[in-house]
Protein backbone atom coordinates (compact mmCIF):
# COMPACT_ATOMS: atom_id res chain seq x y z
CA UNK A 1 0.00 0.00 0.00
CA UNK A 2 1.18 3.52 -0.75
CA UNK A 3 -0.73 5.27 2.06
CA UNK A 4 0.50 5.59 5.62
CA UNK A 5 -0.86 2.94 8.04
CA UNK A 6 -4.30 3.73 9.41
CA UNK A 7 -5.33 3.48 13.04
CA UNK A 8 -6.44 -0.14 13.56
CA UNK A 9 -9.10 1.16 15.97
CA UNK A 10 -11.17 2.04 12.86
CA UNK A 11 -11.50 -1.65 11.98
CA UNK A 12 -11.77 -2.86 15.58
CA UNK A 13 -14.70 -0.51 16.09
CA UNK A 14 -16.30 -1.64 12.82
CA UNK A 15 -16.16 -5.28 13.94
CA UNK A 16 -17.71 -4.39 17.29
CA UNK A 17 -20.56 -2.66 15.48
CA UNK A 18 -21.18 -5.71 13.30
CA UNK A 19 -21.04 -8.18 16.20
CA UNK A 20 -23.68 -6.18 18.11
CA UNK A 21 -26.10 -6.93 15.27
CA UNK A 22 -25.48 -10.70 15.14
CA UNK A 23 -27.91 -13.23 16.59
CA UNK A 24 -26.72 -15.24 19.59
CA UNK A 25 -24.47 -18.21 18.79
CA UNK A 26 -23.82 -17.05 15.24
CA UNK A 27 -20.70 -17.11 13.09
CA UNK A 28 -19.97 -14.67 10.25
CA UNK A 29 -17.54 -15.47 7.45
CA UNK A 30 -16.26 -12.90 4.95
CA UNK A 31 -14.09 -13.79 1.95
CA UNK A 32 -11.84 -11.65 -0.22
CA UNK A 33 -12.44 -10.81 -3.86
CA UNK A 34 -11.18 -12.88 -6.75
CA UNK A 35 -8.00 -12.14 -8.59
CA UNK A 36 -9.43 -11.47 -12.06
CA UNK A 37 -7.60 -12.66 -15.20
CA UNK A 38 -6.96 -10.10 -17.90
CA UNK A 39 -5.33 -11.48 -21.07
CA UNK A 40 -2.56 -14.02 -21.57
CA UNK A 41 -1.08 -14.72 -18.15
CA UNK A 42 -1.89 -11.26 -16.77
CA UNK A 43 -4.23 -10.29 -13.93
CA UNK A 44 -6.18 -7.11 -13.32
CA UNK A 45 -4.98 -5.08 -10.33
CA UNK A 46 -6.41 -6.68 -7.20
CA UNK A 47 -9.22 -4.80 -5.44
CA UNK A 48 -10.24 -6.06 -2.01
CA UNK A 49 -13.84 -6.89 -1.08
CA UNK A 50 -15.18 -3.70 0.50
CA UNK A 51 -16.88 -5.43 3.45
CA UNK A 52 -13.77 -7.43 4.32
CA UNK A 53 -11.69 -4.27 4.13
CA UNK A 54 -14.19 -2.38 6.32
CA UNK A 55 -13.79 -5.09 8.96
CA UNK A 56 -10.03 -5.54 8.81
CA UNK A 57 -8.11 -3.03 6.69
CA UNK A 58 -6.49 -5.97 4.88
CA UNK A 59 -5.94 -5.51 1.13
CA UNK A 60 -4.16 -8.83 0.45
CA UNK A 61 -5.78 -11.48 -1.76
CA UNK A 62 -6.99 -14.87 -0.40
CA UNK A 63 -7.91 -13.35 2.97
CA UNK A 64 -10.91 -14.05 5.22
CA UNK A 65 -12.43 -12.56 8.37
CA UNK A 66 -14.34 -14.84 10.74
CA UNK A 67 -16.40 -13.46 13.63
CA UNK A 68 -17.79 -15.89 16.22
CA UNK A 69 -18.42 -13.86 19.41
CA UNK A 70 -19.88 -16.86 21.32
CA UNK A 71 -17.02 -19.23 20.53
CA UNK A 72 -16.14 -21.10 23.76
CA UNK A 73 -12.47 -20.48 23.00
CA UNK A 74 -11.95 -16.69 23.33
CA UNK A 75 -8.95 -16.57 21.02
CA UNK A 76 -11.10 -17.71 18.09
CA UNK A 77 -13.84 -15.09 18.48
CA UNK A 78 -12.10 -12.90 15.91
CA UNK A 79 -9.97 -14.59 13.28
CA UNK A 80 -8.06 -13.23 10.31
CA UNK A 81 -7.20 -15.81 7.66
CA UNK A 82 -4.21 -15.15 5.40
CA UNK A 83 -2.34 -17.04 2.73
CA UNK A 84 0.86 -18.50 4.15
CA UNK A 85 3.96 -16.62 2.91
CA UNK A 86 5.73 -18.61 0.21
CA UNK A 87 9.35 -17.86 -0.66
CA UNK A 88 9.04 -18.72 -4.34
CA UNK A 89 5.81 -16.77 -4.85
CA UNK A 90 7.27 -13.78 -3.05
CA UNK A 91 10.20 -13.73 -5.48
CA UNK A 92 7.69 -13.18 -8.29
CA UNK A 93 4.85 -11.22 -6.70
CA UNK A 94 6.31 -9.54 -3.63
CA UNK A 95 6.13 -9.90 0.11
CA UNK A 96 3.00 -11.18 1.86
CA UNK A 97 1.83 -10.16 5.32
CA UNK A 98 3.42 -11.71 8.39
CA UNK A 99 1.47 -12.26 11.59
CA UNK A 100 2.71 -9.16 13.42
CA UNK A 101 2.05 -6.93 10.41
CA UNK A 102 -1.50 -8.26 9.97
CA UNK A 103 -2.24 -7.77 13.66
CA UNK A 104 -1.02 -4.18 13.53
CA UNK A 105 -3.20 -3.34 10.50
CA UNK A 106 -6.39 -5.11 11.59
CA UNK A 107 -6.30 -5.18 15.37
CA UNK A 108 -7.14 -8.92 15.15
CA UNK A 109 -4.89 -10.99 17.40
CA UNK A 110 -5.59 -14.47 16.01
CA UNK A 111 -4.11 -15.17 12.58
CA UNK A 112 -4.79 -18.51 10.86
CA UNK A 113 -3.12 -19.61 7.62
CA UNK A 114 -5.54 -20.45 4.83
CA UNK A 115 -4.07 -23.93 4.26
CA UNK A 116 -4.88 -24.94 7.86
CA UNK A 117 -8.36 -23.39 8.08
CA UNK A 118 -10.70 -26.23 7.02
CA UNK A 119 -10.51 -28.34 10.17
CA UNK A 120 -10.88 -25.32 12.44
CA UNK A 121 -13.78 -23.81 10.51
CA UNK A 122 -15.71 -27.09 10.52
CA UNK A 123 -15.52 -27.27 14.31
CA UNK A 124 -16.68 -23.67 14.70
CA UNK A 125 -19.57 -24.16 12.28
CA UNK A 126 -20.73 -27.23 14.22
CA UNK A 127 -20.89 -25.11 17.38
CA UNK A 128 -22.91 -22.33 15.76
CA UNK A 129 -26.64 -22.18 15.04
CA UNK A 130 -26.57 -19.43 12.42
CA UNK A 131 -24.10 -18.55 9.66
CA UNK A 132 -23.82 -15.03 8.26
CA UNK A 133 -22.44 -14.97 4.72
CA UNK A 134 -21.67 -11.92 2.65
CA UNK A 135 -23.00 -10.90 -0.78
CA UNK A 136 -22.92 -7.81 -2.96
CA UNK A 137 -26.26 -6.12 -2.30
CA UNK A 138 -25.36 -2.65 -3.57
CA UNK A 139 -28.50 -1.30 -5.25
CA UNK A 140 -26.40 -0.11 -8.19
CA UNK A 141 -24.88 -3.54 -8.84
CA UNK A 142 -24.94 -4.26 -12.57
CA UNK A 143 -22.77 -7.38 -12.91
CA UNK A 144 -24.13 -10.91 -12.57
CA UNK A 145 -20.74 -12.65 -12.63
CA UNK A 146 -20.57 -15.37 -9.98
CA UNK A 147 -17.86 -13.92 -7.77
CA UNK A 148 -16.02 -15.69 -4.93
CA UNK A 149 -18.53 -14.66 -2.27
CA UNK A 150 -21.40 -16.28 -4.20
CA UNK A 151 -19.40 -19.43 -4.90
CA UNK A 152 -18.55 -19.58 -1.19
CA UNK A 153 -22.25 -19.32 -0.30
CA UNK A 154 -23.01 -22.32 -2.51
CA UNK A 155 -20.16 -24.34 -1.00
CA UNK A 156 -21.26 -23.62 2.57
CA UNK A 157 -24.89 -24.51 1.89
CA UNK A 158 -23.84 -27.83 0.37
CA UNK A 159 -21.54 -28.65 3.27
CA UNK A 160 -23.85 -27.49 6.09
CA UNK A 161 -27.43 -27.86 4.79
CA UNK A 162 -29.14 -27.88 8.20
CA UNK A 163 -27.77 -24.58 9.46
CA UNK A 164 -29.68 -21.32 9.18
CA UNK A 165 -27.95 -18.96 6.77
CA UNK A 166 -28.32 -15.20 7.17
CA UNK A 167 -27.43 -12.14 5.06
CA UNK A 168 -24.43 -10.22 6.35
CA UNK A 169 -25.10 -7.64 3.64
CA UNK A 170 -28.32 -6.53 5.31
CA UNK A 171 -26.36 -5.51 8.40
CA UNK A 172 -23.51 -4.06 6.37
CA UNK A 173 -25.85 -1.78 4.44
CA UNK A 174 -26.94 -0.14 7.68
CA UNK A 175 -23.52 0.02 9.31
CA UNK A 176 -21.34 1.13 6.42
CA UNK A 177 -23.75 3.98 5.62
CA UNK A 178 -22.90 5.59 8.98
CA UNK A 179 -19.31 6.86 9.03
CA UNK A 180 -17.40 7.21 12.29
CA UNK A 181 -15.29 10.27 13.07
CA UNK A 182 -12.20 8.12 12.53
CA UNK A 183 -13.37 7.13 9.04
CA UNK A 184 -14.07 10.77 8.15
CA UNK A 185 -10.46 11.61 9.05
CA UNK A 186 -9.36 9.20 6.29
CA UNK A 187 -11.97 10.55 3.85
CA UNK A 188 -10.73 14.07 4.58
CA UNK A 189 -7.20 13.01 3.66
CA UNK A 190 -8.48 11.73 0.29
CA UNK A 191 -10.30 15.05 -0.15
CA UNK A 192 -7.23 17.12 0.72
CA UNK A 193 -5.21 15.21 -1.89
CA UNK A 194 -7.98 15.89 -4.41
CA UNK A 195 -8.03 19.59 -3.43
CA UNK A 196 -4.28 19.91 -4.04
CA UNK A 197 -4.69 18.19 -7.38
CA UNK A 198 -7.49 20.49 -8.52
CA UNK A 199 -5.38 23.54 -7.70
CA UNK A 200 -2.55 22.02 -9.72
CA UNK A 201 -4.91 21.51 -12.66
CA UNK A 202 -6.16 25.09 -12.60
CA UNK A 203 -2.56 26.23 -13.14
CA UNK A 204 -1.97 23.63 -15.85
CA UNK A 205 -5.07 23.90 -18.05
CA UNK A 206 -4.99 26.21 -21.07
CA UNK A 207 -6.17 26.12 -24.70
CA UNK A 208 -4.44 23.35 -26.66
CA UNK A 209 -3.94 20.98 -23.73
CA UNK A 210 -5.36 17.50 -24.32
CA UNK A 211 -7.79 15.87 -21.90
CA UNK A 212 -5.40 12.93 -21.54
CA UNK A 213 -2.64 15.27 -20.36
CA UNK A 214 -4.94 16.50 -17.62
CA UNK A 215 -5.69 12.91 -16.60
CA UNK A 216 -1.93 12.26 -16.46
CA UNK A 217 -1.52 15.25 -14.13
CA UNK A 218 -4.20 13.76 -11.86
CA UNK A 219 -2.40 10.40 -11.67
CA UNK A 220 0.93 12.10 -10.97
CA UNK A 221 -0.50 14.33 -8.28
CA UNK A 222 -2.40 11.52 -6.57
CA UNK A 223 0.51 9.08 -6.46
CA UNK A 224 2.98 11.73 -5.34
CA UNK A 225 0.70 12.37 -2.34
CA UNK A 226 0.57 8.63 -1.43
CA UNK A 227 -2.96 8.01 -2.68
CA UNK A 228 -3.62 4.53 -4.03
CA UNK A 229 -4.72 6.27 -7.23
CA UNK A 230 -8.04 7.55 -8.58
CA UNK A 231 -11.10 6.34 -6.69
CA UNK A 232 -12.78 5.79 -10.08
CA UNK A 233 -12.11 6.48 -13.74
CA UNK A 234 -11.51 10.23 -14.03
CA UNK A 235 -13.94 12.15 -16.27
CA UNK A 236 -12.12 14.92 -18.14
CA UNK A 237 -14.74 16.30 -20.51
CA UNK A 238 -14.17 19.51 -22.45
CA UNK A 239 -16.78 21.29 -24.56
CA UNK A 240 -19.72 19.16 -25.65
CA UNK A 241 -18.12 16.03 -24.14
CA UNK A 242 -19.36 17.27 -20.77
CA UNK A 243 -22.93 16.25 -21.63
CA UNK A 244 -21.85 12.58 -21.49
CA UNK A 245 -22.13 11.73 -17.81
CA UNK A 246 -19.56 8.92 -17.75
CA UNK A 247 -17.29 10.25 -20.47
CA UNK A 248 -13.98 8.38 -20.16
CA UNK A 249 -12.34 8.76 -23.59
CA UNK A 250 -10.34 11.73 -22.30
CA UNK A 251 -8.66 12.26 -25.67
CA UNK A 252 -9.91 15.61 -27.04
CA UNK A 253 -8.09 18.92 -27.33
CA UNK A 254 -9.29 21.59 -24.89
CA UNK A 255 -10.29 24.62 -26.95
CA UNK A 256 -10.27 28.32 -26.23
CA UNK A 257 -13.74 29.48 -25.14
CA UNK A 258 -14.91 26.04 -23.96
CA UNK A 259 -15.64 24.84 -20.46
CA UNK A 260 -14.08 21.65 -19.13
CA UNK A 261 -15.92 19.42 -16.66
CA UNK A 262 -13.62 17.35 -14.43
CA UNK A 263 -15.06 14.63 -12.17
CA UNK A 264 -12.28 12.93 -10.20
CA UNK A 265 -11.26 11.94 -6.70
CA UNK A 266 -8.43 10.26 -4.84
CA UNK A 267 -8.60 6.97 -2.99
CA UNK A 268 -6.64 7.02 0.25
CA UNK A 269 -6.61 4.33 2.91
CA UNK A 270 -9.45 2.55 1.12
CA UNK A 271 -11.77 5.59 1.25
CA UNK A 272 -12.87 7.75 -1.68
CA UNK A 273 -13.19 11.43 -2.49
CA UNK A 274 -15.52 12.53 -5.30
CA UNK A 275 -15.10 16.06 -6.67
CA UNK A 276 -16.54 17.73 -9.77
CA UNK A 277 -15.60 21.18 -10.99
CA UNK A 278 -16.35 22.89 -14.30
CA UNK A 279 -13.87 25.59 -15.28
CA UNK A 280 -13.11 27.71 -18.37
CA UNK A 281 -10.24 26.38 -20.49
CA UNK A 282 -8.91 29.91 -21.00
CA UNK A 283 -9.41 30.94 -17.38
CA UNK A 284 -12.37 33.27 -17.97
CA UNK A 285 -16.08 32.41 -18.00
CA UNK A 286 -18.10 34.00 -20.81
CA UNK A 287 -21.25 35.87 -19.82
CA UNK A 288 -23.49 32.91 -20.72
CA UNK A 289 -21.19 30.36 -19.11
CA UNK A 290 -21.23 32.38 -15.90
CA UNK A 291 -25.05 32.51 -15.92
CA UNK A 292 -25.34 28.74 -16.34
CA UNK A 293 -22.58 28.03 -13.83
CA UNK A 294 -24.16 30.24 -11.18
CA UNK A 295 -27.55 28.57 -11.75
CA UNK A 296 -25.86 25.22 -11.08
CA UNK A 297 -24.14 26.62 -8.00
CA UNK A 298 -27.49 27.93 -6.75
CA UNK A 299 -28.88 24.41 -7.08
CA UNK A 300 -25.85 23.04 -5.26
CA UNK A 301 -26.34 25.47 -2.37
CA UNK A 302 -30.08 24.78 -2.22
CA UNK A 303 -29.43 21.03 -2.03
CA UNK A 304 -26.91 21.66 0.74
CA UNK A 305 -29.55 23.57 2.71
CA UNK A 306 -32.03 20.66 2.77
CA UNK A 307 -29.73 17.61 2.98
CA UNK A 308 -30.14 16.79 6.65
CA UNK A 309 -31.47 14.00 8.90
CA UNK A 310 -35.11 13.05 8.37
CA UNK A 311 -35.43 13.55 4.62
CA UNK A 312 -35.16 10.64 2.17
CA UNK A 313 -33.05 10.79 -0.98
CA UNK A 314 -36.24 10.44 -3.06
CA UNK A 315 -37.97 13.39 -1.36
CA UNK A 316 -34.76 15.41 -1.44
CA UNK A 317 -34.36 14.78 -5.19
CA UNK A 318 -37.96 15.91 -5.81
CA UNK A 319 -37.35 19.16 -3.91
CA UNK A 320 -34.14 19.86 -5.83
CA UNK A 321 -36.12 19.18 -9.03
CA UNK A 322 -38.60 21.88 -8.07
CA UNK A 323 -35.74 24.30 -7.51
CA UNK A 324 -34.11 23.28 -10.80
CA UNK A 325 -37.36 24.12 -12.60
CA UNK A 326 -37.24 27.66 -11.18
CA UNK A 327 -33.58 28.12 -12.08
CA UNK A 328 -34.07 26.81 -15.61
CA UNK A 329 -36.91 29.25 -16.20
CA UNK A 330 -34.67 32.10 -14.99
CA UNK A 331 -31.87 31.24 -17.44
CA UNK A 332 -34.17 30.65 -20.40
CA UNK A 333 -34.06 26.86 -20.68
CA UNK A 334 -37.73 26.39 -19.74
CA UNK A 335 -40.87 28.50 -19.86
CA UNK A 336 -44.06 28.31 -17.84
CA UNK A 337 -45.82 26.44 -20.66
CA UNK A 338 -43.15 23.71 -20.57
CA UNK A 339 -43.77 23.24 -16.88
CA UNK A 340 -47.57 23.39 -17.14
CA UNK A 341 -47.64 20.68 -19.81
CA UNK A 342 -44.88 18.47 -18.40
CA UNK A 343 -45.19 14.71 -17.94
CA UNK A 344 -45.16 14.15 -14.18
CA UNK A 345 -43.20 10.94 -14.74
CA UNK A 346 -40.60 12.80 -16.80
CA UNK A 347 -40.43 16.35 -15.50
CA UNK A 348 -39.52 19.18 -17.88
CA UNK A 349 -36.30 19.97 -15.99
CA UNK A 350 -35.05 16.43 -16.75
CA UNK A 351 -34.17 17.54 -20.27
CA UNK A 352 -31.28 19.49 -18.75
CA UNK A 353 -30.61 17.58 -15.53
CA UNK A 354 -30.91 13.86 -16.16
CA UNK A 355 -29.19 12.26 -13.18
CA UNK A 356 -29.55 12.05 -9.41
CA UNK A 357 -28.33 14.80 -7.11
CA UNK A 358 -26.57 12.77 -4.42
CA UNK A 359 -25.23 9.32 -3.61
CA UNK A 360 -23.63 7.64 -0.60
CA UNK A 361 -19.84 7.79 -0.49
CA UNK A 362 -17.20 5.84 1.42
CA UNK A 363 -15.09 2.77 0.71
CA UNK A 364 -17.00 2.55 -2.56
CA UNK A 365 -17.64 5.66 -4.64
CA UNK A 366 -21.30 4.62 -4.82
CA UNK A 367 -21.31 3.31 -1.27
CA UNK A 368 -23.88 1.24 0.57
CA UNK A 369 -26.93 3.04 1.95
CA UNK A 370 -30.64 3.53 1.62
CA UNK A 371 -32.51 5.65 -0.92
CA UNK A 372 -35.97 5.35 0.65
CA UNK A 373 -35.46 5.50 4.43
CA UNK A 374 -34.81 8.82 6.20
CA UNK A 375 -31.25 10.10 6.11
CA UNK A 376 -29.36 9.73 9.41
CA UNK A 377 -26.55 11.62 11.07
CA UNK A 378 -23.18 10.11 10.17
CA UNK A 379 -24.00 9.38 6.53
CA UNK A 380 -21.67 10.70 3.85
CA UNK A 381 -23.08 12.05 0.59
CA UNK A 382 -22.11 13.83 -2.58
CA UNK A 383 -24.10 16.83 -3.78
CA UNK A 384 -23.70 17.12 -7.55
CA UNK A 385 -26.36 18.94 -9.59
CA UNK A 386 -25.62 19.52 -13.27
CA UNK A 387 -26.97 21.44 -16.24
CA UNK A 388 -26.49 19.94 -19.73
CA UNK A 389 -27.56 21.99 -22.75
CA UNK A 390 -27.44 20.21 -26.11
CA UNK A 391 -28.26 23.35 -28.08
CA UNK A 392 -25.31 25.20 -26.55
CA UNK A 393 -22.93 22.20 -26.45
CA UNK A 394 -22.33 22.87 -22.79
CA UNK A 395 -22.29 20.81 -19.62
CA UNK A 396 -21.79 22.06 -16.05
CA UNK A 397 -21.63 20.00 -12.87
CA UNK A 398 -20.52 21.00 -9.36
CA UNK A 399 -19.88 18.38 -6.69
CA UNK A 400 -18.77 18.43 -3.05
CA UNK A 401 -18.83 15.79 -0.29
CA UNK A 402 -20.95 16.25 2.85
CA UNK A 403 -21.01 14.49 6.22
CA UNK A 404 -24.48 14.53 7.76
CA UNK A 405 -24.61 15.95 11.29
CA UNK A 406 -27.32 15.94 13.94
CA UNK A 407 -28.96 19.11 12.59
CA UNK A 408 -27.54 19.53 9.10
CA UNK A 409 -24.30 18.73 7.32
CA UNK A 410 -20.60 19.55 7.11
CA UNK A 411 -19.05 20.39 3.74
CA UNK A 412 -15.77 18.45 3.72
CA UNK A 413 -14.75 20.30 0.53
CA UNK A 414 -15.52 23.80 1.79
CA UNK A 415 -11.92 24.95 1.17
CA UNK A 416 -11.88 23.97 -2.52
CA UNK A 417 -12.49 26.91 -4.93
CA UNK A 418 -16.07 26.77 -6.19
CA UNK A 419 -17.37 30.23 -7.16
CA UNK A 420 -16.77 31.89 -10.53
CA UNK A 421 -14.64 34.53 -8.83
CA UNK A 422 -12.52 32.00 -6.90
CA UNK A 423 -11.87 29.90 -9.99
CA UNK A 424 -11.02 32.84 -12.25
CA UNK A 425 -8.76 34.34 -9.61
CA UNK A 426 -6.87 31.09 -9.09
CA UNK A 427 -6.45 30.45 -12.81
CA UNK A 428 -5.20 34.01 -13.33
CA UNK A 429 -2.21 33.47 -11.03
- pLDDT confidence bin for 58, thresholds 50/70/90: very high
pLDDT (tens digit, 9 = 90+) per residue, 346-356?
999 999 999 99
Residue 167 sits in the same domain as residue 187: no
Q: Please check whether residue 1 lies inside any domain of the structure.
A: no
pLDDT (tens digit, 9 = 90+) per residue, 223-250?
999 999 999 999 999 999 999 999 999 9
Residue 213 sits in the same domain as residue 343: yes
Calpha distance 401→275 (Å, rounded): 7
Name which of 82-96, 138-152, 223-237 the model is least confident about. 138-152
pLDDT (tens digit, 9 = 90+) per residue, 359-390?
999 999 999 998 899 999 999 999 999 999 99
Q: Is 29 helix (H, G, I), strand (E, B) or coil?
A: strand
Instruction: State which of 175, 198, 223 marks the end of a domain.
Output: 175
Calpha distance 90→409 (Å, rounded): 46
Residue 170 sits in the same domain as residue 200: no
The residue ranges of DSSP E strands in 265-361, in sequence order, are 266-268, 271-272, 275-280
Residue 321 has a pLDDT of 97
Q: Please check whether residue 64 lies inside any domain of the structure.
A: yes
**Residue 114 confidence (pLDDT) above 80:** yes
Q: Please check whether residue 4 lies inside any domain of the structure.
A: no
- pLDDT confidence bin for 1, thresholds 50/70/90: confident
Residue 163 sits in the same domain as residue 94: yes
Q: Considering its fold, how many domains does the chain have in total? A: 2
Which residue from 341, 342, 337 is spatially nearest to 321, judged by alpha carbons? 342
In angstroms, how far is the first alpha carbon of the chain from the final one? 35
Q: What is the mean pLDDT of the segment spanning 65-88?
A: 96
Residue 117 has a pLDDT of 97
pLDDT (tens digit, 9 = 90+) per residue, 286-332?
999 999 999 999 999 999 999 999 999 999 999 999 999 999 999 99
- pLDDT confidence bin for 344, thresholds 50/70/90: confident
Tell me if 57 sits within 8 A of 106, measured CB to CB. yes
With 0-12 CB in 10 A as exposed, 13-18 as middle and 19+ as buried, what is 47? middle
190: containing domain: 181-428
Q: What is the mean pLDDT of the segment spanning 392-404?
A: 98
Residue 338 sits in the same domain as residue 381: yes
Residue 140 has a pLDDT of 75
Residue 71 sits in the same domain as residue 189: no
pLDDT (tens digit, 9 = 90+) per residue, 258-280?
999 999 999 999 999 999 999 99
Instruction: State which of 145, 175, 205 marks the end of a domain.
Output: 175
* Residue 272, C-beta contacts closer than 8 angstroms, at least 6 positions apart: 187, 190, 231, 232, 265, 266, 361, 362, 363, 364, 365, 367
Q: Please check whether residue 204 lies inside any domain of the structure.
A: yes
pLDDT (tens digit, 9 = 90+) per residue, 121-144?
999 999 999 999 999 988 777 777
Residue 92 sits in the same domain as residue 74: yes
Residue 392 sits in the same domain as residue 409: yes
Give me the chain's average pLDDT, please. 96
pLDDT (tens digit, 9 = 90+) per residue, 165-187?
999 999 999 999 999 999 999 99
- pLDDT confidence bin for 41, thresholds 50/70/90: confident
Residue 191 sits in the same domain as residue 168: no
Residue 164 has a pLDDT of 97
Residue 248 sits in the same domain as residue 229: yes
Residue 145 sits in the same domain as residue 266: no
Give the CATH number for residue 49: 3.40.350.10
Calpha distance 328→306 (Å, rounded): 19
Give the CATH number for residue 283: 3.90.230.10
Q: Please check whether residue 3 lies inside any domain of the structure.
A: no
pLDDT (tens digit, 9 = 90+) per residue, 410-424?
999 999 999 999 999
Q: Please check whether residue 386 lies inside any domain of the structure.
A: yes
Q: What is the bridge-based pairing of β-strands 130-133 and 64-67?
A: unpaired
What are the Cα distances from residue 417, in Å, to 49, 154, 243, 303, 424? 34, 50, 22, 18, 10
Residue 150 sits in the same domain as residue 207: no
Name the H helices within 331-382: 336-340
Calpha distance 97→54 (Å, rounded): 18
Q: Please check whether residue 289 lies inside any domain of the structure.
A: yes
Q: Please check whether residue 362 lies inside any domain of the structure.
A: yes
Instruction: State which of 123, 157, 175 marks the end of a domain.
Output: 175
Amino acid sequence: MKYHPLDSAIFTNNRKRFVKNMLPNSIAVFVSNDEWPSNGDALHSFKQNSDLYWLSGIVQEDSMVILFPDNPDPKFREVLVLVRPNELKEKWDGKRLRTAEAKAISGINTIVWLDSLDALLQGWIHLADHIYLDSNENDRKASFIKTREYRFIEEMKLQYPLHQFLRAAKIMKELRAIKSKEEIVVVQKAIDITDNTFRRLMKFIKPGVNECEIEAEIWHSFLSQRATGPAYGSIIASGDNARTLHYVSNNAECKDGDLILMDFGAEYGGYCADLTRTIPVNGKFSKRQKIVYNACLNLHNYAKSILKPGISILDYTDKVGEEATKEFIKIGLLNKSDVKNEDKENRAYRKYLYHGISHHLGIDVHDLGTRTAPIKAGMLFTIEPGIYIEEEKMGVRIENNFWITKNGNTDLMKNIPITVEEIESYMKR
